[in-house]
Amino acid sequence: MARILITGGCGFIGRHVAEDLLSNGYEVRLYDALIAQVHDGVAVTLPEGAEVVRGDMRDADRVASALKGCDAVLHLAAEVGVGQSMYEIARYVGANDLGTAVLLEALIDRPVSRIVVASSMSVYGEGYYARADGTIEERVRRRPADIRAGRWNPLDAAGEALTAVPTDEAKRVDLASIYALTKYAQEQAVLIHGEAYSVDAVALRLFNVFGAGQALSNPYTGVLANFAARLANGERPTIFEDGEQKRDFVHVRDVARAFRLALETPDAAGEVINIGSGTAYTISGVARLLAGAMGRPEITPEILNRARSGDIRNCFADIAKARRLLGFEPRFRLEESLGDFVDWVAGSMALDRGADMRRQLEERGLVT
């Protein structure tokens, strides 16, 4: 029976990955620092049968010890949050990139057969856009002057409107935040290590993950959790820009299955693969959908008409490669799968720290 080390294994995604692996006959060891921002005040139920090792990714001795007897690694450990990464730079680079470097050095002496790393859609920056004639623009950036004036949608060089279209793995990266920079460094370090040491390495670029178990009181976690914390406290979800920006939301159970498929599929070695739902949702639409699911349809989102530094306008996944290589197919669509998330929120203590997050960004000039 193969033993799998999951770094960040006590986190939202890690717990679901562990549960999926255990139910499919694997032994699982979870390695996690259990940092206060994510875990304080949160009652976390770990999957029965999972071994837990507490430690920081930068603790070389602790990481090496956790690797003993493991056949593969799923590397999910990371600080998460675009906004916070723009001012806690050393924290993000240290945890994400140095932590990954420590893991890879440890793997030189304790090799495994495969390592799968959690990357992020944030590495794309803006997704693909189509011109009116159908040609694709892959390197689109909004001008600061347009953002300050509330012109949210990117334009082509001639000032013509562009249409957001699904983004595949062939798009060149365009790093718009420190978080994106660290995630790209993580994925590339793992792939380079895999090639150099003949270890099968896979990078999964995750889009917006949702589901029961998210840290509702961490304002830098997923947008759905932020909205839920506001709604649970009778407050309006706050949305930057005009709310019409588009994202791809993928259920955590689908993500967990994708990690197992990446672990088991020989042809995935050396590949970067999008894991999303393949569907685009407007952020304001998601807020209204969640409010309805939580029985609070009268609470409408507060549209700030202000932009946050590091944010992009549109990015949603083309998942053809995941389908082809992994046999991956999303099973839990957002609009049909909010029930377990809403039940989780109802049974949890959701501290609304969204105002604190916004204030921290504004004080540093990171909101336009």
From the list 26, 92, 124, 179, the catalytic residue is 179
| Six-digit token string for 223 | 């947008």
87 as an active site residue: the answer is no
Report the b/e string of 239-260 with b at 16+ CB within 10 A.
Answer: bbbbbebbbbbbbbbbbbbbbb
The contacts of residue 231 (CB under 8 Å, 6+ apart) are 237, 290, 291, 294, 296, 299
Among 275, 257, 139, CA closest to 203: 275
- State how far the Cα of 212 lies from the Cα of 217, in Å rounded to an integer: 14
Task: Say how many C-beta atoms besides its own lie within 10 A of residue 140's C-beta.
Answer: 19
| Phi, psi angle pair for 219, to nearest 5° | -70, -10
217/97 Cα distance (integer angstroms): 25
List the one residue out of 97, 94, 46, 54 whose CA is nearest residue 75.
97
Catalytic residues: 179
